[in-house]
Each structure stands twice: as structure tokens, then as C-alpha cells.
């Protein structure tokens, strides 16, 4: 079986990383799988979606940015569909339809020659513009009058109702199979403009051979961290991303007694500049930048006692999978698909979002119980291997692909 995956990147954004790991899982199971990205590839069997710096493409990009109608002006999808690695594939599996990856208006054309699978990594395919709808439910009825026009990707004028209708038309014209990593997002899809699709829940994959337990002392030595401190890891593409709750974490740390704060170090992985660091931090902060290699990520997880992710909105964060696979427990918000990833009290702790007080209690409690941290670490590792390892997730996708191909009507000659 030949499969072509499409996404934004192979080493940046959670969706891009998840797609690349699925490619790894499929190749490990003997599938001929290529990955086509909008960004410059960094891995083998990964190819950049053809783009030409023509006047037409420059105009299209500006129109998308100005109107917020991402996908409608897409000029790269026709070239992608002509690529022999895609045109000869048995399955086209799309992981993002945003910016320069794949335009939703081309779904019908893509499905004419092969089955199309769409994996949901956020709510953008369901809404008129936002990747996470937060407390807004206008995606159920047609968007418009958007309460969050500046949420990613921002829109300068409110075209959200038009975009919602354009997506709905594309989905109605396309026999589409949808995969969601979480039941939470799958349920949203069933109640959305994707309700007519065949919807399945399959988690993202992770290489539990690479992301595995290691020596904490060695990792701290590599990162120049104190051996006798408690290390709290916060990992996000950007430390200042409000959706990931970094400010809530700082407030939670400030709420702890000074005697407890003095015992630990906050290790921040992600893009952060010195000018962005708030003054008067209540804790020692060490920054290690955005980590692009798995080896760097693994070292950070090994060095940490606990990962904290107080997200305001999220689906199926890669960092939780990575941390648990490395035997590092997680404290995270009870939002989106996160409760499906963490067994509360077994592999980590769940707290209510936007509640620094509850987060402080959980953090103080867990850091004071080293035996509990160790037990949670072992349980988290077992959970990751059993549910998210490459062979497990790869075979689930292969079974789905075969079922789709076998049920597809034969084309008349």
C-alpha cells in the first residue's frame, strides 16, 4: 500500500510532528509512505509541496492573509496532486489544511482518484477561522460575528461565516474519512459540518524507543541544572502563548510558600526572549530555547521531576506523550483531549484550567512526594507503550486504510 501524508512541517508544530511520527510508524510496518510539507523538509522520504514565487502565488498569499479565507486561494494543491508520489498513492492522508499545506476547496478533486483521510489536530476544520474555539459555539450554527478574531490564525475582517460555508460545501462534496486523536474532538466533529464524514478515534504515535527512561543526573549535568533541586518543566513552542497557560504557572508558583519555591527550578523549553521574561519572577528560571531534535527533548524530560502544562485549550499534546514515555509525570489542565491522556492520580494530576490556586496545590503536593512521582512515572511509561507506541498506532491506521480501500466503489473504465 502506498500512502501520502500532507502537513505543514516535519519538525515544527504539534500537528507536523504527529504526522511525521505517523509516517515513521507506517514505514515501520512496511507501508510505502511519503510525507509532503509546506516547509523545508528535514527528514528522509519527506518532500516540499511545490511552490513557485509567481505573481499569482504572491497575490494568493496576500488575499488569504487579508481575508482570512485560508485554503480558498490555495495555489499549491494542484501541483501536489500532480506529484507522482501522490497521484500514484492508494491513500491521501491530510494532517493540515492551513496556510500553504492543502486547500480544502481541492478535497473533491483529490478524492476523485483515491480515498482521502483527514486527521484533526485542532478545531480549525470545524470552524470559520479559529484553531481552538474556547467557549464559543458558533461553529455549530455557522460562525460569523466572531468573538475571537485575533486568535490564531487572526482575521482582519470577519469572513468567518463565509469560510464556514465554504468548508461545509467542500465536505459535502467529498467522501471523507476523519481521524481524531481524541474522543473529545471526535465528538465535536460529529456535531459539526463534518458530521457526514466517517469519523474514527486513533491516538497520535510516539517512538517509545527514543522517548524512554534515562538517568536524571546525567541529563541535569548536560543542562547545567542543580542535582539536588526539584525541576519543573514547561514546554511550549512559545513561553508567552496564552493558550498554553505559562502565566498561570508563574502565578501558581508565586502562590507557594517561599520555602517550597526555593527548592525548585523552572525549566522552560520554547521560544522566549529576555525582554519577554516578567520581572520579579518568584522562582529561578532556566531557558533552553525551542528544542527541534528528539534527543534534546528527551534530555529535558529526563532532567525534570514533573512536566506542567496548564493549557486553556488543547487537543492531544505531543509533550504529554513524550513526558509520560520518559517516565516523567504530568500535571495538566482538564481540557480538550488531555483527560484521555492522563489517568488522574495514576500517571499525573489533572487540574481545572485558569486556576493557579489549584495548580499550586497540585504542584506542591506532587513535589513533596518523591515515591508518588516514581510510581506515576512507571505507570505513565506503561500507558504510553501500551497505547501510543509506533506499532500499535501504525497498525490501527493500516487497518483503517484497508477498510477504506476495500469499501471504495470500483471506478468504471
pLDDT of residue 413: 46
Q: Is the pLDDT of residue 158 over 80?
A: yes
Distance in angstroms (rounded) separating the CA atoms of residues 157 and 265: 43
When the pLDDT of each residue in the chain is averaged and rounded to a whole number, the result is 92
Answer left, alpha or beta for residue 336, where phi above 0 means left and psi between -120 and 50 means alpha.
left
What pLDDT digit, counting tens, does each position of 230-253 carry? 999 999 877 778 899 998 998 999
Of the pLDDT bands very low, low, confident and very high (cuts 50, 70, 90), residue 41 is: confident
Q: Looking at domain 216-388, which CATH architecture does it have?
A: 3-Layer(aba) Sandwich (3.40)
Residue 65 CA, chain-centre distance (Å), reads 23
SS3 of residue 332 by DSSP: strand
Contact between 43 and 35 (Cβ < 8 Å):
yes
pLDDT of residue 9: 80
Distance in angstroms (rounded) separating the CA atoms of residues 288 and 297: 10
Contact between 337 and 229 (Cβ < 8 Å):
no
Beta-bridged to residue 134, according to DSSP, are none
Distance in angstroms (rounded) separating the CA atoms of residues 232 and 264: 7
Nearest to 162 by CA among 67, 61, 57: 67
Max CA separation in the chain (angstroms) = 77
Distance in angstroms (rounded) separating the CA atoms of residues 162 and 40: 31
Beta-bridged to residue 37, according to DSSP, are 7, 48
SS3 of residue 234 by DSSP: strand
Of the pLDDT bands very low, low, confident and very high (cuts 50, 70, 90), residue 112 is: very high
Q: Is 250 exposed, middle or buried (0-12, 13-18, 19+ CB in 10 A)?
A: buried
What pLDDT digit, counting tens, does each position of 174-218 carry? 999 999 999 999 999 999 999 999 999 999 999 999 999 999 999
Span 2-205+390-407: which CATH code? 3.40.50.2000
Does residue 201 or residue 275 have the better pLDDT? Answer: 201
> Which residues make Cβ contacts (< 8 Å) with residue 290, sequence separation at least 6?
237, 269, 270, 271
Counting every residue written for the chain, the total comes to 413
Answer left, alpha or beta for residue 71, where phi above 0 means left and psi between -120 and 50 means alpha.
left
CATH 3.40.50.2000 domain position(s) in the chain: 2-205+390-407, 216-388
Distance in angstroms (rounded) separating the CA atoms of residues 201 and 187: 10
What pLDDT digit, counting tens, does each position of 351-368 carry? 999 999 999 999 999 999
Amino acid at each position: 500500500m502506498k500512502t501520502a501524508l500532507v502537513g505543514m512541517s516535519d519538525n515544527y508544530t504539534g500537528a507536523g510532528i504527529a504526522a511525521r511520527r505517523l509516517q515513521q510508524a507506517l514505514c515501520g510496518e512496511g507501508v510505502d509512505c511519503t510525507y509532503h510539507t509546506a516547509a523545508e523538509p528535514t527528514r528522509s522520504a519527506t518532500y516540499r509541496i511545490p511552490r513557485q514565487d509567481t505573481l499569482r502565488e504572491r497575490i494568493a498569499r496576500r488575499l488569504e492573509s487579508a481575508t482570512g479565507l485560508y485554503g480558498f486561494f490555495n495555489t499549491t494543491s494542484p501541483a501536489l496532486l500532480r506529484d507522482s508520489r501522490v497521484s500514484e498513492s492508494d491513500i491521501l492522508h491530510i494532517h493540515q489544511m492551513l496556510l500553504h499545506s492543502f486547500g480544502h476547496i481541492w478535497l473533491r478533486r483529490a478524492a476523485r482518484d483515491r480515498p482521502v483521510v483527514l486527521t484533526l489536530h485542532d478545531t480549525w476544520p470545524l470552524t470559520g477561522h479559529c484553531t481552538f474555539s474556547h467557549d464559543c459555539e458558533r461553529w455549530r450554527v455557522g460562525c460569523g460575528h466572531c468573538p475571537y478574531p485575533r486568535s490564531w490564525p487572526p482575521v482582519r475582517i470577519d469572513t468567518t461565516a463565509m469560510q464556514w460555508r465554504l468548508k461545509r460545501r467542500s465536505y459535502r462534496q467529498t467522501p471523507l474519512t476523519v481521524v481524531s486523536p481524541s474522543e473529545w474532538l471526535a465528538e465535536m466533529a460529529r456535531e459539526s459540518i463534518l458530521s457526514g464524514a466517517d469519523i474514527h478515534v486513533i491516538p497520535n504515535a510516539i517512538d517509545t524507543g527514543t522517548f524512554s527512561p534515562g538517568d536524571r543526573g546525567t541529563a541535569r549535568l548536560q543542562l547545567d541544572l542543580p542535582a539536588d533541586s526539584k525541576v519543573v518543566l514547561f514546554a511550549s513552542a512559545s513561553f508567552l502563548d496564552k493558550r498554553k497557560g505559562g502565566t498561570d504557572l508563574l502565578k501558581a508558583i508565586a502562590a507557594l510558600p517561599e520555602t517550597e519555591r526555593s527548592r525548585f527550578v523552572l525549566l522552560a523549553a520554547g521560544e522566549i526572549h529576555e525582554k519577554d521574561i516578567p520581572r520579579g519572577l518568584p522562582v529561578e528560571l532556566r531557558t533552553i530555547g525551542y528544542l527541534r531534535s528528539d534527543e534534546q527533548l528527551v534530555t529535558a524530560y529526563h532532567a525534570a521531576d514533573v512536566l506542567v502544562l496548564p493549557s486553556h485549550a488543547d487537543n492531544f499534546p505531543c509533550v504529554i506523550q513524550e513526558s509520560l514515555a520518559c517516565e516523567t509525570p504530568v500535571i495538566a489542565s482538564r481540557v480538550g483531549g488531555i483527560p484521555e491522556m492522563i489517568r488522574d492520580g495514576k500517571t499525573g494530576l489533572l487540574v481545572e484550567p485558569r486556576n493557579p490556586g489549584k495548580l499550586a496545590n497540585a504542584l506542591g503536593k506532587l513535589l513533596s512526594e518523591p515515591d508518588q512521582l516514581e510510581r506515576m512515572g512507571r505507570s505513565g511509561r506503561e500507558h504510553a507503550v501500551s497505547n501510543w507506541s509506533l506499532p500499535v498506532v501504525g497498525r490501527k491506521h493500516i487497518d483503517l486504510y484497508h477498510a477504506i480501500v476495500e469499501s471504495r466503489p470500483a471506478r468504471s473504465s
